[in-house]
Amino acid sequence: MTKLAEYARLIKFEHTIFALPFALASVLILYERAPTLWQIFWIVVALVSARTLGMALNRLLDEDIDRLNPRTKDWSLPAGRVTREEVKRLIYFSGAVFVFSTLMLNFLAFLLSPVVIFLLGIYPKAKRFTNYPHVFLGLVYFLIPVAVDVALNERVSTQALLLGFAMATWVAGFDILYSIQDYEFDRKHGIGSLPAKHGIETALKVSRLLHLATFLFLVFLGIASDRLGFIYFAGLVVLGAFLVYEHSLVKPWDLSKLNKAFFTVNGYVSIAFFLVVLLDKVL
């Protein structure tokens, strides 16, 4: 049980709250025919296994950096509580589960699964060759609603693309906030990030612009869809308020509430969006 808990800490399983509600909201928005429990089950399995694969790859490929960083040196792998071989086995297992889950959905999803795996593998490496690795994480999340559309309808619709852009800008925006924690370390060791390249003040401005884009893409989604109504648009006001509150917590001269902005408020944003879509569908 202790080892299982260590694996959960390794992949930060609790952060699944960022992606899962958005994925379930994608199901509610995009289905042409009511999805079966079979489809919903394998979509959830695919999402959780892909996220596990991505986090395990991140930990393995970033081990050298994590050992040097005071913030991460006590994480499971650098601290030796999990071995490299154990992380590799987790990668093989979660990758196999992900590919199998796509096959259980439909053959097109299976054929496209290597694209997801490629992006999950390239993100940890991105900070070594670009100052904008946040874009690559955004691309991973862009694929979530696109993958849901493929899984349910074997197509990629305008609504899936709009929701994908909303998720991409949302995740890239809060990944920029997250990377501010390592501003000094990244600059000292030549690790690429937008804050390290352009400074904290510029990074905060870019993050705000990305989250404004998130809000606008969600508005465009509501306009483009004939199945989202008043409750959805009213809910977007609440969602927008969460985003404004998130950015009010972080200032260039005061980063003391950065974790609250990243972990707590972003969890609220994801859950709030799912509840808004669910209420709109039910009522």
152: buried, middle or exposed (CB in 10 Å: 19+, 13-18, 0-12)?
buried
Q: Which residues of 16-48 are buried (b: 16+ CB within 10 A; e: fewer)?
A: bebbbbbbbbbbbbbbeeebeeebbebbbbbbb
Distance CA 179, CA 61 (A): 17
* 277 sits in which H/E element: helix 266-282
Q: What are 254's strand-pairing partners? A: 251
DSSP 137-204: HHHHHHHHHHHHHHHHHSS--HHHHHHHHHHHHHHHHHHHHHHGGGHHHHHHHT---HHHHH-HHHHH
Neighbouring CB atoms inside 10 A of 178's CB total 20
Backbone angles phi, psi at 254, to 5 degrees: -150, 100
Q: What is the pLDDT of residue 117?
A: 94
User: Rounded CA gap, 194 and 26, in Å?
Assistant: 29
- DSSP-assigned letter for residue 129: T
pLDDT one digit per residue (tens) for the chain, 283 residues? 577 878 888 887 767 767 788 889 999 999 988 889 999 999 999 999 999 999 999 999 999 999 999 999 999 999 999 999 999 999 999 999 999 999 999 999 999 999 999 999 999 999 999 999 999 999 999 999 999 999 999 999 999 999 999 999 999 998 999 899 999 999 999 999 999 999 999 999 999 999 999 999 999 999 999 888 999 999 999 999 989 988 888 888 777 777 766 667 777 888 889 999 999 988 7
Q: Are 273 and 25 in contact (CB under 8 A)?
A: yes
- Tell me the pTM: 0.91
Judge whether 147 and 112 are in contact, CB under 8 Å: yes
The domains found in the chain, sorted by start residue, are 2-282 (1.10.357.140)
Give the SS3 label for residue 65.
helix
